[in-house]
Amino acid sequence: METTETFDSLVRAEFTPTGTYLNTASNSLLPARTVTALHEAALLRAQGRPLNSLFEDVEACRAAYARLAQVPVERVAAGASVAAHTGVIAASLPPGAEVLTAEGDFTSVLNPFHVRGDLKVREVPVERIAESVRPETDLVAVSAVQSADGRIADLPALREAAREHGARTYVDFSQGAGWLPLDAGEWDFSASVAYKWLLGPNGIAFLVLPEDFGGLTPLLAGWVAGENPWDSCYGPVTELAHSARRFDLTHALLGYAGLRRSFELIEELGVSAIHSHNTALADRYRAGLASLGHEPLPSSGSAIVSVPGLGSRQPELSRAGIEVSDRAGNLRAAFHLYNTEADVDRLLDALSG
């Protein structure tokens, strides 16, 4: 684990926000090393130079996500969005299958099941999702951390309930991967975008599948999904990749060049240290909110803190140089490695004025 001094020095070298940025739950800041890598990758295209190194970046990012998720790299597919990954999972279900979801969860986790039109989609409060699994449930789909307010699903209880009733599980770690320690091997399927807590560019998302692919068909497979991609450019792919790479989507190459450097920074700092840093700031903010007479959600444990009913104050805070979000009427603040106690106190001062 990094010492506090080393943690702070690494962060200071990478981030130079112009204001108080507390909106990682929407988009992260990009580290300086990531910006440099994106520029260098763009120059390859601009100058007509070979792009081989960019394909190497894709595989380096796949391996880094596998380490973060604690799964073999062969189980990780590289795609473009959680919605696309959810769509492949939704397409695998038989007509009439029951999908248990959390009320108000992020659309990318829910909508592909609804648009099927022939599935039984059941919604319950996230606090009740484990107790709501029943023998008829085929799949449970839920975000580990709720986007609207930062509540964390009781994943251990959900895992046990799903095993008890024979239901499969799909967890979206988009609001957790990068600060919340995770073990994707505990779930049938899981996914995450890269542009939030993983500090990467937009347009990249990862999917973790079982070794046998869990009955999924790679409906979106193109040439990169072939066992030998450069031999799979014309006509049908005759041999799909033997690993989860058969579920890859055509890669946003420039983005992976940057994301590779972001992963390097996260690994240098350590998810455990990032978790401690983020949650300590969130706890400081919760205590300050309580002193102002507000009741934040959730009460503890999350790097995201929301205040119901205060979302309308987001524009004035933005004008004051404090970036937060208005989500479902909540004033949502998200604390990440580049935030400080001074950021917390500035937001509290603004809310008290």
Q: What pLDDT sits at residue 5?
A: 80
Cβ neighbours of 2 (radius 10 Å):
17
Q: Which residues contact 107 (CB under 8 A, 6 or more apart)?
A: 83
CA atoms within 13 A on the CB side of 231: 7
Residues 239-295: tens digit of each pLDDT = 999 999 999 999 999 999 999 999 999 999 999 999 999 999 999 999 999 999 999
Share above pLDDT 90 across residues of the chain, in percent, rounded to a whole number? 98
The whole-chain average pLDDT of the chain stands at: 97
Whole-prediction pTM: 0.96
| Reported confidence tier of residue 197, pLDDT bands at 50, 70, 90 | very high
Q: What pLDDT sits at residue 353?
A: 83
Contact by Cβ (8 Å): 81, 204: no
Amino acid at 207: L
Give Cα 103 distance to the centre of its chain. 19
The three-point CA angle 182-64-241 to 5° equals 105
Residues 211-233: tens digit of each pLDDT = 999 999 999 999 999 999 999 99
Contact by Cβ (8 Å): 265, 179: no
| Reported confidence tier of residue 2, pLDDT bands at 50, 70, 90 | low
Parse the chain into domains and list their residue ranges.
Answer: 4-29+270-352, 45-267
Nearest by Cα to 175 from 193, 153, 157, 199: 193
Residues 341-350: tens digit of each pLDDT = 999 999 999 9
Kindly tell me if the per-residue pLDDT of 127 is higher than 80.
yes
Q: Which CATH number fits domain 4-29+270-352: 3.30.1700.10, 3.90.1150.10, 3.80.10.10, 3.40.50.720?
A: 3.90.1150.10
CA dist 87 and 95 (Å) reads 15
| CATH level 3 topology of 45-267 | Aspartate Aminotransferase; domain 2 (3.40.640)
Q: How many angstroms separate the Cα of 329 from the Cα of each of 22, 26, 292, 294, 335?
A: 17, 15, 19, 14, 19
The three-point CA angle 320-323-324 to 5° equals 120
Query: What is the sign of the dihedral through the CA atoms of 262, 267, 269 and 275?
Result: positive
Share above pLDDT 70 across residues of the chain, in percent, rounded to a whole number? 99
Kindly tell me if the per-residue pLDDT of 1 is higher than 90.
no
Contact by Cβ (8 Å): 224, 250: yes
